[in-house]
Amino acid sequence: AHNVVVKFTYNYSAEGHRLLADHRMPEGVHALGAGMYVMVMERIADTDSERMMTEENHATLREAITLLHVHNLVFGDLRELNELLVKGSGLMLVDFDWCGQEGMAKYPGDMNDD
C-alpha cells in the first residue's frame, strides 16, 4: 500500500513539471478525458510544518525559477503554499496548474484573493 495524494485539474504544464522533475522534483501525472489531468503523487509525510526557509531552500527556489525562465516558462502560482519543505531533502515546488509559456500562462485574477 502506498500513501498518495490525488489531484484533478483542468490546467497543467507537463513541460514545466518534466523540466523540474528531471532536476529532482515531483512525479506522476496522467491525462484524463474531458480535458482533465489526474496527478498521483507520493504523499510526503516528513515536511517542515514550521516553514523555516534556509538559505539553501532559497537557493533551490531561485534555481528552479531560473531553470523555468531559461526555457521561457513561468511558475504562475508561486506562493508559500506551493513551496513544500521536505525534511532532509530541501524544497520542492508543487502545483503546476498555472505554469506555462511566458506571456501566455496567467493565474486567473478571480481564483484567489490571498
Coil, helix or strand for 63? helix
84 within some domain: yes
- State the pLDDT at residue 101: 86
Q: What is the CATH number of the domain that holds 13?
A: 1.10.510.10
The mean pLDDT of 39-62, rounded to a whole number, is 76
Residue 38: pLDDT over 90: no
88: in domain: yes
Give the residue with greater pLDDT, 98 vs 49.
98
Provide mean pLDDT across the span 36-54.
70
| Residue of 13, 6, 8, 5 lying closest to 96 (CA atoms) | 13
Residue 95 lies in a domain: yes
pLDDT value at residue 26:
46
68 confidence band (pLDDT: 50, 70, 90): very high
What residue numbers bound the domain in which 52 lies? 4-101
pLDDT digits over 76-114, tens only? 888 888 888 877 777 888 888 888 888 887 777 766 655
Of the given ranges (37-41, 60-64, 75-79, 103-107), which has the lowest mean pLDDT?
37-41
The residue among 30 and 85 whose pLDDT is bigger is 85
Instruction: Flag whether 96 is in a domain.
Output: yes
Query: Number of folded domains in the chain?
Result: 1
The answer to whether residue 107 sits within a structural domain is: no
Give the DSSP letter of residue 41. E
Cα of 90 vs its chain's centroid, Å: 14
